[in-house]
Structure 1
Amino acid sequence: MHATETMPVGRVRDGALDLLKWLALLSMVLDHLRYVGLSLDGLYVPGRLAFPWFCLAIAANLHRVRHVAVSGQWRYLGWLLLFSLISEVPYRLFIEDADTLNVLPTLALGLLVARGWQQKAAVDRGLALIALAIGAVFSTQLMFGFFGVLLPWAMLLVFSRPWYFSMLPGLVCVAANQWQILLDNGTPLALMGLAACLIAPLAGLLLLRQAKNATPPAMRRWAYALYPAHFLLLLLVRTIIA
């Protein structure tokens, strides 16, 4: 890929975007398999791809519909907020020592920030500022913290820009993943996790560009239910193993 080439600037094909979402879901499940009671610490590395790829999916959706009606984006936000509430109990049942909310509130705030940057209306800009304030004040209560709230916006910035701009969301992703703890840890697993965070945005963007002919099952609204459902399924697995 030459330095003058840019990431996709037109409509992202649904097939490529659905493939990205399925891979993000797979990465998330692999990451959470570490909590079923088996020695699966190595899954931490592929698990670092899940959150940035979900953020990239948000950015790709915003980029695709930037010149059309935005009512669908409000529905998108509504579904995120609804399943934020639905998922909290299954999340805390499975992650017993959880010290943050589940990931969906972070994604919802990130959607508002990215959308506020993209849209010019005062209401969008106002909601983005409110989302930023919530992210800053409640950073410790949000999964991936304040930088996690910024990641969909950072992903959106890369569209229509040269590929090397993916280093920006890569650095934001590293910041969202407790980089100081991982760096101080210094183990090969921790360092590979940092590397995965750094390259995840570029890898996802390349997938959106190259997988134009992909035909995975479409992820529709029912897919939101997979988030709380996978916690319950893995909780059942852990109970059986125990």
Structure 2
Amino acid sequence: MGSICIQIIEGNPHLRSLLGWHLQQASYWVCQSAGIHHAREIYLTRQPTVVILDSDLPDGDGIEFCRWLQEQGQSLILMLSARNTEADIVNGLKAGADDYLTKPFGMQEFMARVEALVRRVRVTAAPMYLDYGDLKIDLVQRRVRFKEEFIDLTPQEFSLLYVLAQAGGLPLSRSELLRRAWPDAIDNPRTIDTHVLSLRKKIENVPRQPSLIQTVRNVGYRFNPEILNALEPKTNGNTRTRNGNGQRSALTSY
């Protein structure tokens, strides 16, 4: 499922984080937005396969945004709403939602609804992994291989590495990492520092001088795949797939 990108647009930060965590555990790519303005930017950039959309957002009407999404014609939409009358449900479906789930709901039902939408998308079912040369992240088995050896990561360390790698080199704040990689709300952002230190000891060539997971001053941390590309020996003949920008494609069949 590593090729499936799911966008969550939900104003409640705790619910947004919880949904994102469960989807990540199921090996989906996840991007999150709290409001319409940011959601539109993310949507146009990521082109998600499925959009999880709250009908009531802090900066606008989710129903109207659903109509905008439907006009784009590229994503399946699961609408979440506290509005539970028949008229509300019909209104959401007519606005373009492919499914409608009323709040409160159980997580098993939520995941079943998402999986039903995903089954409608024609994609290959082959396991997927992220390939950065010496570092390979298996999104299905949730395993990491570094220099041809499997690295023993805790579930939380794997989630942290996955979220950092998913950001594509963009720096993420400690608060953002907590929201994306932790299943429960945590008040102390410095928790990230402890896990980053542990992760560096396992996957950095020189943990005291980290180059793969870099500290970004006054921001947080970023994943730096370029260092792996630079260290990877050049070969004659067989080269890895590259995208249109000349960069190596990170998503490959495992």
- Interval containing the TM-score (normalised by the shorter chain): 0.3 to 0.5
TM-score, normalization by structure 1: 0.32
Which structure features the higher share of strand residues?
2
The one of the two structures with greater contact order (alpha-carbon pairs below 8 A, sep at least 6) is: 1
TM-score, normalization by structure 2: 0.31
Which structure is larger by alpha-carbon Rg, 1 or 2? 2
